[in-house]
Amino acid sequence: MNTPMGLLIDITKCVGCGECMRACADANGLPQEEAKQLSAEHYTVLQAYHNDEVFVRRMCMHCVDPTCVSACLVGAFSKTSQGAVLYDADKCIGCRYCMQACPFQVPRYEWSSLIPRVQKCRMCAERVANGGVTACTEACPTGATMFGVRDELIHEGRRRIQEAPEEYVDHIYGLTEAGGTSVMYLSGIPFEELGFPKDLPTEPIPQLSWRVLSQIPKYSVAATVLLMGIHWITARRVEVARFEAEEERLRLQEKIHERHGNNTGKGGESR
Amino acid sequence: MKKTTSGLAVWKILAGSFLLLGLVAAIDRYSRGLGATTNLSDTFPWGLWIGFDILVGVGLAAGGFIVAGTVHILNLERFKPILRPSILTAFLGYLLVIAGLMVDLGRPWAIWHALIYWNPRSVMFEVAWCVMLYTTVLALEFSPVVFERFKLRRAQRIIKSIAIPLVAVGVLLSTLHQSSLGSLFLIIPGRMNPLWYSNILPFLFIISCVAAGLSMIIFESYLSSRVFKKEIELPLLSDISRVIAVVLALYFTVRVQDLISRDALQLVFQPTYQSVLFLGEMLVGVVLPFFLLLSKRMRASKTGLFYSSLFVILGFVAHRINTAITSMEQWPNKVYVPSWQELAITIALVTAGFATFGIMARYFPVFATESPSNEKRKSLRFEQVVFETSPSDSAVPAIGKPE
């Protein structure tokens, strides 16, 4: 089973009960406690908007072409064929470029640890590999979180918007944001009012640096040729100048020889 | 004479206490972790150590590749007197960058992973390899100084035979590295203030490092001339300062054009915290030194050159810190202020740089061929230069004696 899976979170259906958070903590062996912000110990949290009537669940978006995967110099992040973005602490050197790079600012750090790791939602990779659904999906009593094949979730999202256009903003967040994400959202309120990063490019963000990085081989060859070429020309110029100076010196010496004869010639040589 | 020694003693005590404080902070950081000892957080994962120690450290080392390229690739031999000090500055700069990294990395013991786990899509991968390779190149470029000091003729000959390709590789790696530090930020368009984010960041980083690297040469020539009581290479430095002025003009033009093309110019005139910092960076660090250096009188005076270069360096530091820290402060709506440990370690690294430069310059032939007026010195055997002058005495008169 290698179909890219994903999550569709329907914000209009969420009642903010917090079952997803508790199930997530259980499944990942994290402490059971209320939190409003993602942290190394909270892979998903609910944030309340509009007088505590609208709840937005935050978690890793599991981008289709993840910025963190491209940013990590040692390749500690990987995107599985089933859609999850996973982190390997054994490779990590702790530069935290992933945290800086993530367009959704999801990766969190174990700041108090002496052997710190990056922490974030793993889309229950083991459960999904065994044909299951994520712990949060299983726990959701209202169906606000739906797990499935990403393409089918997009269809489902479009269907819901089409059937009740007055209830939904006509946009599936995550369809194209940052080149598309595996976790997508439906909402009744404009996404920018719910703290979703807006104006994200629709092309994968790794492209922004790849445009420069991909030029390095060409640049390196051209620059080396140019540098060695310049050296060749300037070195030749120095050589020619030296040769001419030497010739000039010899000519002067000869003149001195001619004028003063052999005895005094030596005196002229050692200036 | 007496007055200077006591002046130096004060500096030594100050440097010693900075180093000691840095050591205490480093021990604290390793025993209690990053969270307890820094003000870094999930919203501010990079702080002073990246913004200053790494970005500024590498940038100010740029003099090394510029002078090496000028002397060996362009064959402008008259710049030779400043070659060794520039290489030494660059080498020390890179060593300090690595030291800074060892403090900043969450898992410093795993730094060697960069050798075996490759991800060519990562700018950080390019950065890591440039640091590793260029530090090696700098070590080799500096090695003749050590070989000369210990009379290792064979090793000297070997290095000399590969000098040109070595310098070419050094120039290539430097341009890649300087630009890649700017490329690091390309990936975070949404988070950074448009005054600093730009898709030409790699280009801006290269231009500004040339101005800063060259200014660093003037800055340190001035300080060395005072500490070691040697003559300053005024005509050379004056020529360099012209290049700085041109580079500053280019930088200013490109920067303003970039702001216009991104429709961000009006941000400069809005009364925000960021616009004030931007204006400070540009006016004090670019416009002011440019106009100072336009004046012939400034270019011909030691102090004029020194202050102009100081402003360029300050502007450069401001640009790097603004890019890495200030420009991000709008996003999490959080202001980052470094902890005392972060400051202490940074100050200690800078102190270590100056102190090591001083020690190297005193015991190794860094300035051995410094002044054209001292041509005769070249014919002296080097041991005479080092051993027949006591460290406290100024080197120049003792060498002049055989005449």
Residues A128-139: pLDDT tens digits?
999 999 999 999
At A74, list the tokens.
């040692």
The 10 Å CB-count burial string (b at 16+, else e) for B76-85 is: eeebbbbbbb
Q: Tell me which chain B residues have a C-beta less than 8 angstroms from the C-beta of A58.
A: none
**pLDDT tens digit sequence for A79-94:** 999 999 999 999 999 9
Nearest Cα of chain A lies from the Cα of B291 at a distance, in angstroms, of: 32
Selected residues 143-182 of chain A with any CB under 8 Å from a CB in chain B? none
**Closest Cα in chain B to A102:** B188
CB spacing of B184 vs A97 below 8 angstroms: yes
How far apart are the C-alpha atoms of B334 and B324, rounded to whole Å? Answer: 14
Q: Which one-letter DSSP state was computed for residue A194?
A: G
Q: Within a domain: residue B401?
A: no
Inside any domain, residue B240: yes
| In a domain? residue B402 | no
Give me the residue from A38, A94, A228 closest to B107, CB to CB: A94
CB contact under 8 A, A213 and B120: yes
B403 assigned to some structural domain: no
Say if B400 falls within a structural domain. Answer: no
Report, as ranges of residue numbers, the positions in chain A whose pLDDT lies below 70.
Answer: 1, 261-271
Which residues of A fall within a CB distance of 8 Å from B65?
A: none
- Strand pairing report for A5-10 and A183-186: parallel
Q: How many CB pairs under 8 A join A and B?
A: 164
User: Which amino acid type is present at position B395?
Assistant: A
In a domain, B387, yes or no: yes
Cβ burial, residue A255 (10 Å; 0-12/13-18/19+): exposed
Confidence of residue B5 (pLDDT cuts 50, 70, 90): low
- Are the Cβ atoms of A93 and B111 closer than 8 angstroms? yes
Determine, for residues A216 and B126 on separate chains, whether the beta-carbon distance falls below 8 Å: yes
pTM listed for this prediction: 0.87
State whether residue B182 is helix, strand or coil.
helix
Pair of tokens at residue A143:
């169906």
Work out the burial of residue B263: count CB atoms within 10 Å of its CB; fewer than 13 is exposed, 13-18 middle, 19 or more buried: exposed
> Does B253 map to a domain?
yes
The CATH number of whichever domain residue B193 belongs to comes to 1.20.1630.10
* B27 and chain A in contact, CB less than 8 A: no
Q: Does B187 touch chain A (CB under 8 A)?
A: yes
Domain holding B29, by residue range, is 2-394
Quick: pLDDT tens for A23-59.
999 999 999 988 999 999 999 999 999 988 999 999 9
d(CA B391, CA B145): 18
Q: Decide if B360 is inside a domain.
A: yes
Q: Per the CB < 8 Å rule, is A93 touching B105?
A: yes
Shortest Cα distance from B206 to chain A (angstroms)?
14
Shortest distance, CA B169 to any CA of chain A (angstroms): 7
Contact A92 B168 (CB under 8 A): no
A267 touches chain B (CB under 8 A): no
- Rounded CA separation B397/B93 (Å): 31
Q: Identify all chain B residues contacting A179, using CB atoms and an 8 Å cutoff.
A: none
User: How far, in whole angstroms, is CA A136 from its chain's centroid?
Assistant: 25
Chain A hits for B128, Cβ within 8 Å: 73
Q: Write out pLDDT tens, residues B250-263.
A: 999 999 999 999 99
Q: What is the pLDDT of residues B182-209, one digit of tens each?
A: 999 999 988 899 999 999 999 999 999 9
Residue B36 reports pLDDT greater than 80: yes
Q: Kindly state whether A224 is in contact with chain B, defined as any CB-CB distance less than 8 angstroms.
A: yes
Note the residue count of chain B. Answer: 403
Contact B107 A73 (CB under 8 A): no
Report the pLDDT value the prediction gives residue A89, as an integer from 0 to 100. 96
CB B351 within 8 A of CB B321: no
Tell me which chain B residues have a C-beta less than 8 angstroms from the C-beta of A104.
none
Compare A1 and B93 and report the one with higher pLDDT: B93
- Interface with chain A: mutation pick from B107, B178, B327, highest number of A CBs within 10 Å: B107
Query: Can you tell me the mean pLDDT for B102-108?
Result: 96
Interface test with A, best of B119, B180, B205 (most A CBs within 10 A): B119
Residue written as token pair 């390309």: B186
Report yes or no: B99 and B349 within 8 Å, Cβ to Cβ: yes
Contact B81, B372 (CB under 8 A): yes
Average pLDDT score over chain B: 88
Query: Is B19 exposed, middle or buried (CB count within 10 Å of its CB: 0-12, 13-18, 19+)?
Result: middle
How many structural domains compose chain B? 1
How far is the alpha carbon of B233 from chain A, nearest alpha carbon, in Å? Answer: 23
Average model confidence (pLDDT) for chain A? 92
d(CA B285, CA B274): 16
Summarised one tens digit per residue, pLDDT across range B69-89 is: 999 999 998 899 999 999 999
Whether the pLDDT of residue B386 is over 70: the answer is: no
Q: Are B107 and B93 in contact (CB under 8 A)?
A: no
